[in-house]
A and B are shown apart, each in its own frame.
Chain A
Amino acid sequence: MLDSWTSDAPAKLFGVSDIGVTPRQLKVSRGTSDKVFRGFILAGALFSLIVLALISGFLMYRGFGIFKDFGFSFFTSSKWEAAADDGSAPAHFGVAAMLVGSFVVSVIAVAIAVPFAMAVSLFLEYYAPYSLRYVLTTILDLVASIPSVIWGIWGYTILMPHAVGWSKTLNHWLGWFPLFDVPAPIFERSPFIAGMLLAMMILPIVTSVAREVYSQAPRDQIDAAYGLGSSKWGAMRTVVLPFGKSGLIGGTMLGLGRALGETVAVYLVLNLVFKVNFHILASVGGNVASLIASRFGEASPYELKALMAAGLVLFFMTLIVNFIATTIVNRSKVPS
């Protein structure tokens, strides 16, 4: 058996039209052992495809009944009620509040994390003394590996009391603006606090993407800026930031994906209420992932199906966000 592969390396390098030849088809005859080996590796590599397909397949299969029963109102309704035990009230499930809550919390996280990630990556790449850079980068990598449950316990006990104070200050000065208004003066476990905690958690991933693109900014362009009497900031603003713009957007999307899927930390610092809420300082919020974690324990089989459906929604949401993110990041990388 022959398998064919195209010898198009020069074509890839120079572009086919430039050298005016179509890539030559090479017929490679491989030994049996190689064929088996390649087949085996390909099979193993496609394992991720199987897993992704199974995830969507199974969650769809389990959640199908829910989509059938509630239709589009699963997305537009905020009511999440299991059937009453005596059968007096039917179950009703809708994830609107949780979907909105996921986005509110994640957008807050991204809005806080991205400026800091820019500062951190510029600092690490261009401002920090050389001797410190390796140490600081290592610390950043270690921070990236702090488990989310520990962020959660820290966020609950340490961050929350501080953040309540900041929330009050914000509310005091900016309360006239609906975003910072609260219906009742309770500031604990708000989307603002959850978003702040998530910002700290996604900072390492956004920073590492930003740092990578910033480090690839063309060195001679930076020199050119210096050569015309520009300060460091001038060079950053003219060369590095524009160069890294799309990479930063990709990193931001990646962080958004992480924030959307975060469970335990959000569960611990956010008050889960089934109500669409845009008052970010109020103690009312939601997140699809923590909905699953919190209801899972005592869910009836029917509610479990609803949770599977919610899981499917979350899965596709993060998949789409991540797809956009990786596409942007890959495109912004200098081809090596």
Chain B
Amino acid sequence: MTLELHGTVQRGEFHREVRISAQPGEVTAILGVNGSGKSTVLHTIAGLSPLQTGLLTVDDVTWDAPAESRWITPEQRHCAVVFQDLRLFPHLDVLRNITFGLRASGIRRVAAIARAHEALAEVGASALVNRKPANLSGGERQRVALARALVMKPRVLLLDEPFASVDEDSHKAFRELLPRIVEGLNAITLMVTHDETDASAIASRQVRLSPQELP
């Protein structure tokens, strides 16, 4: 029961070879300098950009197989992404942001709200329920984005530079918070980062993407 990705990922003009595998219940860090295609890997797994060649399977289910020119849509993948720039929906309040994914997958409103409160408590952001993203600090937004992904109880959790927009104090707090949460989730977790310290503190495995060599 694992995630296997090998082949060429692409986004726009950019493309590169990757080979990644990950196990549930542990964090796999994807390390590399800027422009090495770390985010593209996450987008490919989430189904936001298709593979050019190769194969992506999760739990023995094929997600993307360019050889058969098939891929399954993001909504069928049971992924949750925390984007580098967070991308909270600006016109929805925190609660609606968090219930969004649950509602999308057909869970009833009452149940979704209950789970949203749990998730908010888990990341220590219960006080923020009715605020709009524009009125939150960087660290608070980060927590909301994390809760928005966790609440899905996803099979695959994708974290893109999860500490990009937090200050030093929250950074430390997150470094302790994240492994705890992931452990409880038993999801396949991939974390893109450029910070070696974060990688070794949180991740049990590391995949290093070399800088893309110019053709």
Contact B78 A229 (CB under 8 A): yes
Q: Which of A34-42, A216-224, A265-273 lies on the face that meets chain B?
A: A216-224
Contact A229 B80 (CB under 8 A): yes
Contact B89 A229 (CB under 8 A): no
Once A223-B48, A234-B75, A238-B92 are accepted as A-B contacts, the answer to whether A229 and B87 lie under 8 Å apart by CB is no
Please tell me if B104 contacts chain A, counting CB pairs below 8 Å.
yes
Q: How far is the CB of A140 from chain B (nearest CB, A)?
A: 27
* Interface flags, A203-223, vs B, CB<8A=1, else 0: 000000000000000001101
Interface residues of A (CB under 8 A from B): 220-221, 223-232, 234, 238-239, 242
Contact A230 B100 (CB under 8 A): yes
Please tell me if B130 contacts chain A, counting CB pairs below 8 Å.
no
Please tell me if B38 contacts chain A, counting CB pairs below 8 Å.
no
Once A227-B79, A229-B79 are accepted as A-B contacts, the answer to whether A242 and B104 lie under 8 Å apart by CB is no
Q: How far is the CA of A223 from the CA of B86 in the complex (A)?
A: 11
* Interface flags, B66-104, vs A, CB<8A=1, else 0: 000000011101111101010111011000000011011
Contact A220 B83 (CB under 8 A): yes
Interface range on chain B: under 10, 10 to 19, 20 to 34, or 35 or more? 20 to 34
9 tightest Cβ-Cβ pairs between the two chains A and B: A227-B81, A228-B101, A224-B87, A230-B104, A226-B74, A234-B104, A231-B75, A227-B46, A223-B48
Residue from B47, B75, B91 having most chain A Cβ neighbours under 10 A: B75
**Which A residue sits closest to B148, measured CB to CB?**
A228
Contact A229 B48 (CB under 8 A): no
Please tell me if B152 contacts chain A, counting CB pairs below 8 Å.
yes
Contact A228 B83 (CB under 8 A): no
Contact of B87 among A223, A230, A234, A242 (CB under 8 A): A223
Please tell me if B105 contacts chain A, counting CB pairs below 8 Å.
yes
Once A229-B105, A231-B75 are accepted as A-B contacts, the answer to whether A242 and B100 lie under 8 Å apart by CB is no
Q: How far is the CB of A216 from chain B (nearest CB, A)?
A: 15
**Which B residue sits closest to A233, measured CB to CB?**
B104
Q: How far is the CA of A236 from the CA of B190 in the complex (A)?
A: 28
Which chain B residues border A227 with CB–CB below 8 Å?
46, 48, 74, 79-81, 83, 87, 158
**Which A residue sits closest to B158, measured CB to CB?**
A227
Once A220-B85, A223-B48, A224-B81 are accepted as A-B contacts, the answer to whether A229 and B92 lie under 8 Å apart by CB is no
Which chain B residues border A232 with CB–CB below 8 Å?
73, 75
Contact of A242 among B80, B81, B91, B105 (CB under 8 A): B91
Q: How far is the CB of B16 from chain A (nearest CB, A)?
A: 20
Q: How far is the CB of B108 from chain A (nearest CB, A)?
A: 15
Contact A229 B77 (CB under 8 A): yes
Q: How far is the CA of A40 from the CA of B158 in the complex (A)?
A: 61
Please tell me if B149 contacts chain A, counting CB pairs below 8 Å.
yes
29 A/B residue pairs, CB under 8 Å, sorted by A: A220-B83, A223-B43, A223-B83, A223-B87, A224-B87, A226-B46, A226-B47, A227-B48, A227-B74, A227-B79, A227-B81, A227-B83, A227-B158, A228-B81, A229-B77, A229-B79, A229-B104, A229-B105, A229-B152, A230-B74, A230-B100, A231-B73, A232-B73, A232-B75, A234-B75, A234-B100, A238-B89, A238-B100, A242-B91
Q: How far is the CB of A249 from chain B (nearest CB, A)?
A: 16
**Which A residue sits closest to B88, measured CB to CB?**
A224
